[in-house]
């Protein structure tokens, strides 16, 4: 079981898949999930090159140090994982909270990213109400009846009426196994994150933006606004040296589970352009 220790001695579990050819792809899962999120796309992607899939700190098989789990700390962990593997540059795709982490990587270590993908994610900070909700969750999750909370999380991840039992099981297991401390620490970490629209707008490389037509976290309107940030900014036209891709999938907030074939195609056109 491959693991490594970060600079603050946290043991991180990761999978290292595929052939060692071309620039690797690093996939960062969202909240409150772990590397199993990518189970339906890992093998099809790894048929095309090297794919690195960590369990971020406090999730899955990784160690559980006390938080807050800031996006910057997650970004540092991801960079240290690349260092550990001797990878100088990777395409980095982040799902939802993983996208917030990928943006922190792009801000703090731009030279390490060959491409940036926001997968059902966005570059905005929380508004006041959102931040308040995060702190409330952090304060109550340890004593909360988890069953309804878990069910609500599952509903939020998929499109209304999603009814694939195997897909629901993958997501449901990850949610059920997420520890209250991890949920609290990530909630505070997300509340603390700054707006990174400028990072997204100016990223000097190919970007991919994937969202779902029935995504309750990244709405259609928000997707359009994020597209415009990248497409219309004059400075962006000058600094971007490759194409951007925009993919609207039919489902909700978890295309890699809901429509893995279309999701894989979207990643491949960006990663293997």
Please report whether residue 97 would count as binding ligand MLT according to CB under 6 A. yes
Residue placing its CB nearer to ligand MLT in the complex, 4 or 149: 149
* Minimum separation from the CB atom of position 68 to ligand MLT (A): 14
* Minimum separation from the CB atom of position 99 to ligand MLT (A): 8
Please count the residues of this chain forming the interface with ligand MLT, following the rule CB under 6 A. Answer: 6
Residue placing its CB nearer to ligand MLT in the complex, 38 or 240: 38
* Minimum separation from the CB atom of position 122 to ligand MLT (A): 8
* Minimum separation from the CB atom of position 178 to ligand MLT (A): 11
* Minimum separation from the CB atom of position 97 to ligand MLT (A): 3
Q: Tell which one of 10, 58, 70, 96 touches ligand MLT (CB under 6 A).
A: 96
Residue placing its CB nearer to ligand MLT in the complex, 3 or 217: 217
* Minimum separation from the CB atom of position 58 to ligand MLT (A): 14
Residue placing its CB nearer to ligand MLT in the complex, 7 or 140: 140
Q: In what order do the strands lie in the sheet with 207-212?
A: 3-5, 11-17, 51-54, 25-28, 90-95, 113-119, 207-212, 245-249
The interface with ligand MLT within residues 214-273 (CB under 6 A) comprises: 217
Retrieve residue 77's tokens.
């962990």
Q: In this structure, is the dihedral angle defined by the CA atoms of residues 263, 73, 51 and 34, taken in order, positive or negative?
A: negative
Q: In three state form, how does the secondary structure of 152-170 look?
A: HHHHHHCCCCCCCHHHHHH
Residue placing its CB nearer to ligand MLT in the complex, 56 or 81: 56
Half-sphere exposure for 165 (CA within 13 Å, toward CB) = 0
Distance between CA atoms of residues 122 and 196, nearest Å: 9
* Minimum separation from the CB atom of position 59 to ligand MLT (A): 11
Please report whether residue 178 would count as binding ligand MLT according to CB under 6 A. no
Residue whose token pair is 């907030």: 253
Residue placing its CB nearer to ligand MLT in the complex, 114 or 184: 184
Please report whether residue 190 would count as binding ligand MLT according to CB under 6 A. yes
Beta-bridged to residue 195, according to DSSP, are none
Residue 136 CB-density burial (10 A; 0-12 exposed, 13-18 middle, 19+ buried)? exposed
Residue placing its CB nearer to ligand MLT in the complex, 26 or 97: 97
Distance between CA atoms of residues 209 and 211, nearest Å: 7
Q: Tell which one of 13, 14, 31, 38 touches ligand MLT (CB under 6 A).
A: 31
Say how far residue 244 (Cα) sits from the centre of its chain: 18
Please report whether residue 30 would count as binding ligand MLT according to CB under 6 A. yes
Please report whether residue 115 would count as binding ligand MLT according to CB under 6 A. no
Retrieve residue 83's tokens.
């260092």
Residue whose token pair is 């600079």: 7
* Minimum separation from the CB atom of position 26 to ligand MLT (A): 16
DSSP assignment of 202-247 equals H-SS-EEEEEETT-SSS-HHHHHHHHHHHHH-HHHHHH--S--EEE
Name the residues that contact ligand MLT, by CB under 6 A.
Answer: 30-31, 96-97, 190, 217
């Amino acid at each position: 079981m491959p693991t490594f220790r970060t600079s603050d001695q946290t043991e991180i579990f990761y999978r290292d898949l595929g052939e060692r050819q071309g620039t690797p792809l690093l996939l960062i899962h969202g909240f409150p999930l772990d590397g199993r999120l990518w189970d339906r796309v890992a093998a099809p992607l790894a048929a095309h090159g090297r794919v690195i899939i960590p369990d971020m700190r406090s999730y899955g098989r990784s160690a559980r140090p006390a938080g807050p789990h800031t996006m910057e700390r997650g970004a540092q962990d991801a960079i240290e994982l690349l260092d550990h593997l001797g990878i100088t540059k990777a395409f980095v795709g982040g799902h939802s909270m993983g996208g917030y982490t990928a943006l922190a990587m792009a801000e703090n270590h731009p030279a390490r990213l060959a491409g940036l993908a926001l997968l059902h994610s966005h570059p905005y900070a929380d508004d006041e109400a959102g931040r308040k909700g995060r702190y409330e969750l952090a304060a109550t999750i340890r004593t909360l009846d988890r069953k309804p909370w878990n069910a609500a999380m599952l509903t939020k991840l998929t499109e209304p009426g999603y009814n694939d039992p195997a897909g629901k099981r993958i997501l449901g297991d990850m949610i059920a196994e997420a520890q209250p401390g991890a949920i609290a620490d990530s909630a505070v970490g997300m509340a603390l994150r700054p707006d990174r629209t400028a990072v997204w707008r100016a990223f000097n490389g190919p970007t991919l933006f994937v969202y779902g037509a029935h995504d309750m976290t990244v709405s259609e309107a928000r997707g359009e606004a994020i597209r415009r940030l990248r497409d219309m900014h004059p400075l962006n036209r000058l600094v971007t040296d490759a194409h951007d891709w925009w993919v609207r999938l039919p489902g909700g907030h978890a295309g890699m589970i809901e429509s893995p074939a279309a999701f894989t195609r979207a990643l491949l056109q960006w990663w293997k352009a």
